[in-house]
Amino acid sequence: MARVYNWQLGREMSYWYPESRASKQFAAVFDINKCIACQTCTLACKTTWTSGKGQEYMLWNNVESKPYGFYPLAWDLKLLEMLDGQKWNEGGEKPVYEGSTIFESAPAGERVMGWRPEDEDYAYPNVGEDDCAGGVDGGANIFETHDMAWFYYLARICNHCTYPGCLASCPRGSIYKRPEDGIVLVDQGRCRGYQECVRGCPYKKVFFNMMTGTSEKCIACYPKMEQGIQPQCFVNCIGKIRMAGFINPPDKANPENPIDYLVHVKKVALPLFPQFGLEPNVYYIPPIHVPTSFTKQMFGPGVDAAVKTYREAAANKDDDLTGLLGLFGSSEMLMERWKRVGDKIIGLDAAGKQIVDVPLKEPVVERPAFDKLYQITRTNCP
Amino acid sequence: MKSTLLIALIAVMIGAGPACRRAIVSTPDVQVVSGQTITLDANASVWNPVPVHLSKQIQQDLVEPRLMEASTQEVQIQAISDGNLIAFRIEWLDDTQDDLPGPARFMDGVAVQLPAKIDPNVPAPQMGETGKSVEISYWRADWQAVVDGRADDITSIYPNAKPDHYPFNAKPLENNPDAQAQAAQRYSPARALGNGREGPRTEPVEDLIAEGPGTLAPGPNAFSKGKGVRTRTGWAVVITRPLPAGFSKESPSQIAFAVWQGSHDETGARKMRSGWVNLLMK
């Protein structure tokens, strides 16, 4: 194994291949606080990419209700149980992960530590996860305060990791990371369906297609990305929780890049299970209503600070941060740059050309039910 | 009464299929009996007098992922030739028939490996090496099931599945098979690229070449044929292919075997393999 630097761990780690960062790295920020689990993202992906035979069970994008929802079943819990320690040293200038990654924990004979979901593990996508599962007997109620009166929605796609577990697991080199944008793809001409990638991806975002006999995964809608357009699950998001773009390593962070600004400058967006060691590139603004004792395991030691910054952004008149969050979902085009000019937040393409502008604060327009001009009650129109 | 029972028991043992057909005396080499009529039938009488080589299998433990727990200990090998083709009858013990693909499900299979060139300086037995390639004929149980008639449909794997709609079944395409096939390929990129891991096929065997672990690629010729059947104790598979170039009584070759048990999560590099064994024309 080679030694590579993983900035999310604050240290070097072992990886199957030497460090080779893409010239640009696909990345995204999801604001969990805005997600309503409408599954429009899931359907947008499903109808675009996985409507074929053998893809029936596949959800390259899914939304699950945490802490009890999973797709596939217990995808995170199973690996967390296998992964010892997971301790962070937070005493220094920046946190350093002192536990082992899935690469460093690989048992004898394996490339990574992993497991394979079986048929029944895919049988419970988020259908009524947060509904009552059965009838409630007459008079039944809860007398005491519910200790865990929270849940949240976790939207997930492939993380297009800097150090992908799937790529490291494939003994044939059938998985590759595009040098131009860091998107991770399975070569459908080369894959022989060993399912080692399914086993090796801790996020379980590679799926075996039993009708083609190959493994398939999220492709970050690369045909759209190549044209400067955000992926399907981003542009169809009703809650406007997502922004796609590119991320730089922290030492090359550019505050004019919206992803860099949220991840590196404001540090409000955090990786999913950084302790796995893959340097995943979908970053989450953690749910602010959830005890950080829980979210810290999921998003790393930056959770407390991220929640504080996000919570206090409006009160602190942090117009840059609140304004940038308003840029989410404002255009289908990739906004590789951004700036604030007074009360306007402007999204720009890589060449600096303006794509869209949004107001810092949406104006409030009051429309009375009775329209005096036309002398009609609007709710009574034909 | 007791003697009747004993005779009946012996009769059952005699008729219990090839695995119990006779006490096996293993030859140290794989001896190819020439002048025979080639058949894909593992139960044909042509195999009865053919010497058996018991190939001892070891775990693939050279490259990750390795097979950490042994399964198939040995494989029975017989070989015949008609002067043009060579046929191998391969039989091994396997309690379960694994031919339904799916998540975390793996297929039974067997492969025959020959050096691409007859040369005293043989390639490494583990899939060959750079500049010294090997030819592999690979049979898989799920491919056999498809050739034997299993439909190319999700319900042939999941009988209770109820797919609501596929785009290629849309109304405007229903009288246009070409347009349907084209639409279906959009959602099956592996098939569009000709990577026939699953789907319609006419042979349960695939021809491959390799120059070391991880280099397996389709061979230039699709000349291997085969047929596998379940025995009472496992599988009996016949694989045929042209005689290796230059192979004769005076010019022997080498041969190696690999076997996969799906129920043991064996796939790809996770397999039981042999080293090289002499392949001799008799």
**B199 DSSP assignment:** S
Residues of chain A contacting residue B64, judged by C-beta atoms under 8 Å apart: 109-111, 171
Q: Do residue A213 and residue B190 have CB atoms under 8 angstroms apart?
A: yes
Pick from A241, A305, A322: nearest CA to A268: A305
Q: How far is B188 from chain A (nearest CA, A)?
A: 7
Residue type, A26: F
Between CA A88 and CA B210 the distance in angstroms is 45
Mean pLDDT along residues A302-316 = 97
- Whether A163 is in a domain gets the answer yes
Q: Is B245 exposed, middle or buried (0-12, 13-18, 19+ CB in 10 A)?
A: exposed
Pick from A163, A183, A168: nearest CA to A279: A163
A4, containing H or E segment = strand A2-6
Residues of chain A contacting residue B107, judged by C-beta atoms under 8 Å apart: none
Q: Is the Cβ of B184 closer than 8 Å to some Cβ of chain A?
A: yes
Return the pLDDT at A10.
Answer: 98
- Whether A289 is in a domain gets the answer no
Orientation of helix A292-299 relative to helix A303-312, angle to 10°: 110
Q: Is A350 exposed, middle or buried (0-12, 13-18, 19+ CB in 10 A)?
A: middle
**B56 DSSP assignment:** E
Between CA B205 and CA B228 the distance in angstroms is 10
Question: How confident is the prediction for chain A on average, in pLDDT?
Answer: 94
CB A277 within 8 A of CB A99: no
Number of H helices, E strands in chain A: 10, 19
- Whether A309 is in a domain gets the answer no
- Whether A137 is in a domain gets the answer no
Q: Show the CA angle centred on residue B104, arms to residues B213 and B107, nearest 5°.
A: 60
- Cβ neighbours of residue B268 closer than 8 Å, sequence gap 6 or more: A171, A172, A192, A194, A196, B65
Number of H helices, E strands in chain B: 4, 14
A91-110: per-residue pLDDT in tens? 999 999 999 999 999 999 99
Between CA A52 and CA B189 the distance in angstroms is 10
CB A107 within 8 A of CB A113: yes
Q: Do residue A211 and residue B154 have CB atoms under 8 angstroms apart?
A: yes
Tell me what ipTM this predicted complex has: 0.91
Q: Do residue B268 and residue A111 have CB atoms under 8 angstroms apart?
A: no
Q: Do residue A118 and residue B103 have CB atoms under 8 angstroms apart?
A: yes
Q: Decide if pLDDT at A80 tops 50.
A: yes
Q: Do residue A212 and residue B216 have CB atoms under 8 angstroms apart?
A: no
Nearest to B104 among A53, A109, A195 (CB): A195
Using pLDDT thresholds of 50, 70 and 90, give the confidence band for residue A382. low
Domain hosting A196: range is 2-128+151-276
Q: Do residue A212 and residue B198 have CB atoms under 8 angstroms apart?
A: yes
Between CA A185 and CA A58 the distance in angstroms is 16
Beta pairing partners, A214? A209
- Whether A334 is in a domain gets the answer no
Give 3-state DSSP helix, strand, coil % of chain A, rounded to 5: 25, 20, 55
Q: Which residue has the higher pLDDT, B150 or A132?
A: B150
Residues of chain A contacting residue B109, judged by C-beta atoms under 8 Å apart: none
What is the architecture of the domain spanning B21-152+205-281? Sandwich (2.60)
Nearest to A108 among B68, B103, B192 (CB): B68
Residues of chain B contacting residue A189, judged by C-beta atoms under 8 Å apart: 190, 193-195
Q: Show the CA angle centred on residue A315, arms to residues A313 and A317, nearest 5°.
A: 65
Return the pLDDT at B164.
Answer: 87
Using alpha carbons, list the distances in angstroms from residue A64 to A67, A149, B134. Answer: 9, 17, 48
Q: Do residue B166 and residue A192 have CB atoms under 8 angstroms apart?
A: no
- Range with the lowest mean pLDDT among A300-304, A371-375, B73-77? A371-375
Q: What percent of chain B has pLDDT over 90?
A: 89
A208-253: per-residue pLDDT in tens? 999 999 999 999 999 999 999 999 999 999 999 999 999 999 999 9
Pick from B136, B137, B118, B117: nearest CA to B126: B136
Residues of chain B contacting residue A109, judged by C-beta atoms under 8 Å apart: 61, 64-68
B267-282: per-residue pLDDT in tens? 999 999 999 999 999 9
Q: Is B197 exposed, middle or buried (0-12, 13-18, 19+ CB in 10 A)?
A: buried
Using pLDDT thresholds of 50, 70 and 90, give the confidence band for residue B8. very low
B218-241: per-residue pLDDT in tens? 999 999 999 999 999 999 999 999
Nearest to A212 among B167, B199, B216 (CB): B199
Mean pLDDT along residues A24-40 = 97
B98-152: per-residue pLDDT in tens? 999 999 999 999 999 999 999 999 999 999 999 999 999 999 999 999 999 999 9
CATH number for the domain harbouring residue A60: 3.30.70.20
Q: Is the Cβ of B50 closer than 8 Å to some Cβ of chain A?
A: no
Q: What percent of chain B has pLDDT over 70?
A: 92
